[in-house]
Amino acid sequence: MSSVPNIPLVKLGDGTQIPVLGFGNGTAWYKPDRFSALNQDMLDMAKAAIAAGYRHFDTAEAYGTEAELGQAIKESGIPRQEFFVTTKIAQTFSEGSPEDAALGLENSLKRLQMDYVDLFLLHSPYCNKKMQYDEDNVAKQWKNIEPLQRSGKARSIGISNFRKTHVENLLKTAQIKPAVNQIMFHPYLQGAPEYAKWLQSRGIAVQGFMGLLPLTQLKGKHLDSTLEELAQKYGVSPSTLLIRWELDQGIIVVNTTKKQERMREYFAALDLKLTEEDYDRITKVGQETHLRLPGGELYNGRDYSPY
């Protein structure tokens, strides 16, 4: 890429600053055997993302890509403090009990070759061995994550895939409010814009993942013609439009790709300005139906309903 983009920073509720665009090391890069050898393609793509200008990276113990990301950052020669690194713990993937949060983070740090992460997330509210929601279990898990922020090994702590009722229950006992809730977020996910506003009103930032599903697994639905028309109007790609739609809602956007040229489309969203009418049009057309991509019960508890 000819130039490195200036990716804006936003401040989380705990004062930590985070770039509004992040590069994800899951989804397309997920390793079924997370303890397998380094994926050279993943390592090369992480290096390419760094060279392109990304400094915000998102991984997880469940993805099996922490080692690749850590190696890419180490080989970049760029100081660690210039990066914002997120990883996640899922109880079913660690040692299997709420008390294992500290051990899970230590193992992640070893794989990342780092002394700390910028954001440490509880990957799912369905975090017991039965992969079902258990309010008391989540509260215990969070209680054991809170000291990790106090220790400095996690600059910020947060949650992922939590629905409104899960957040409300957690806030009853949490001493430290989650700085972030990372959730699936795209126009077809009914209730997503309203849920984001609700979280933000309570000082919890929203990170969105799978924001480009209308162009991939959900392509061929009723939003296609609208995105194609607006893409021609603005002279950008549909992916640029969707990322801008998220950014306009204050969403911190995490996307991934296996094609380096896609990064240019993602960065173009930083300079795009949608009219209020066109933004509302994407929202209205998208929210006419509810389409949630099915995922493992670890992440959604087999619940595909709107937020």
Annotated binding residues for substrate, written as ranges, equal 123
Cβ-based neighbour number of residue 14 at 10 Å: 17
DSSP notation for 140-166? HHHHHHHHHHHHTSEEEEEEES--HHH
CA atoms of 161 and 124, how far apart (whole Å): 5
Torsion (CA) 293, 297, 302, 307 in degrees, nearest 10: -60
Given a contact cutoff of 8 angstroms between Cβ atoms, the answer to whether 83 and 106 are in contact is no
Alpha helices (H) along 202-237: 224-234
Name the nearest CA neighbour of 125 among 178, 175, 59.
Answer: 178
Catalytic residue among 54, 63, 126, 299: 63
Given a contact cutoff of 8 angstroms between Cβ atoms, the answer to whether 93 and 61 are in contact is yes
Residue type present at position 127: C
Q: Which two tokens stand for residue 252?
A: 């911190």
Q: Would you call 2 helix, strand, or coil by DSSP?
A: coil
Strands 17-19 and 9-11: antiparallel
CA atoms of 291 and 24, how far apart (whole Å): 22
CA atoms of 30 and 34, how far apart (whole Å): 8
Q: Which residues contact 268 (CB under 8 A, 6 or more apart)?
A: 236, 237, 240
126 is catalytic: no
Q: Which two tokens stand for residue 229?
A: 């028309």
DSSP notation for 283-298? HHHHTTS-------HH
What amino acid positions are annotated as catalytic residues? 63
